[in-house]
Amino acid sequence: MGETTLMADHHLYSLFGIAAFFFCLQLIYWFIFLRLALYKTPTLAEQKADYQGVSVIVAAHNEAENLQKLLPALLAQQYENFEIIIIDDRSHDDTRQVIFDAQKLSNRVKLVRIDHKPDEPDGKKFALTMGIKAAKNEWLLFTDADCIPNSPQWITQMAMQFTAENHFVLGVSQYENQHGLLNAFIQFETFLTALQYLAWTLAGTPYMGVGRNLAYRKSVFMQNNGFYRHTTVTGGDDDLLINRLAKGSTTAICIQPDSQTTSVPKQTWAAWYAQKKRHLSVGKYYKLSDKIRTSLFSFSVAFFWLFSLVQVGVGLWLQNEFLLYSAGAMHVLRWLLAVLVLLFAQDKLGAKAYAGAYPFIELFYVGYQFTVGFVALTTEKVAWR
């Protein structure tokens, strides 16, 4: 009888131990994310600008309407030494005319025309490569045609990080706040993605950036043959380049609200799903260590929930208070840390992250990561447009 009881106790505490393992793994992640929450963002007054030349590069395919909003915002930038390179990538709307009109207003605007492209390269990567080759400056600053800089200090703020040591500067790009459940989840998912890649960069292991707000050296791009390893991959012109070339010692972040850009979010779940499938599909090309590190966060959440629920079920069945109270305590402590990190980090980024709702969004977020991620990683080819 005693031996049977000991074996039962052993299994019970093994169950607790597995749940505790994933609990501790979660704590490690949230303490890493805490780096961003505690990051001190320097002000313009605390920084010294030498106004290095900057080439702002935008690839545009049928983006006439968006360029009519973006180009005035770029021309209004309060920076002394920059050019604007717009790549007209085989557009058949008024994109080229909008660029011509902007050139009449300022000699900063340069047009790169693409009427045909080779069969193999991904269209956007080919367009960006042509724009990069046309750039006259060492530092390249990228955004998308459907983005708007948050302020006339966008270039200035990003350029403050263009030091002799840095090769890459990772910026932040948010989506417009709108009404509805879809927009709320877009805000949350975008924020959590930014929290992760920025915090890991501060930890010395950058693994991705977003092309809506990203800067790097032209010489680094050219010396490493640019996008050559992934020329046929749809998407990944931003994160795959960072994943391949960026190092902690040569990568900086810029997170002030004035340094950010804002995009128009998708309006339907179907459009958002197609966008996220495209974004997540490039994850299969990450370095193995980054695949493990990024996916383990969601896996640890899922397995912690699984084993803690089993722990609660067994605890109720056997009326074991230790199993019940320990499961509850782990959930409360983990959620408390997560919400505090999210609250501080969203204040740092000037973002809307629905931090207080994290305990309720968490499982939906993990489910999205697994389902959309699985479809994306098992799909041979995704469409850009």
For residue range 215-256, list pLDDT tens digits in order: 999 999 999 998 887 877 777 788 899 999 999 999 999 999
For residue range 199-217, list pLDDT tens digits in order: 999 999 999 999 999 999 9
pLDDT-based confidence at 363, cuts 50/70/90? confident
For residue range 93-140, list pLDDT tens digits in order: 999 999 999 999 999 999 999 988 777 667 788 899 999 999 999 999
Q: Give the list of residues 6+ apart from residue 223 with CB closer than 8 angstroms, or none.
A: none
| Residue 379 confidence (pLDDT) | 63
Q: What is the mean pLDDT of residues 158-172?
A: 94
| Residue 4 confidence (pLDDT) | 46
For residue range 276-290, list pLDDT tens digits in order: 877 777 778 889 999
For residue range 297-331, list pLDDT tens digits in order: 999 999 999 988 888 888 888 888 888 888 899 99
Least confident piece of the model among 120-124, 153-157, 236-240, 292-296: 120-124
Q: Please give the C-alpha separations between residue 276 and each of 184, 222, 255, in angstroms, as whole numbers.
A: 15, 29, 23
Q: What is the largest CA-CA distance in the chain?
A: 92
The answer on pLDDT for 196 being more than 90 is yes
Q: Give the list of residues 6+ apart from residue 41 with CB closer than 8 angstroms, or none.
A: 255, 256, 348
The answer on pLDDT for 13 being more than 70 is no
CA angle 285, 121, 98 (to 5 degrees): 115
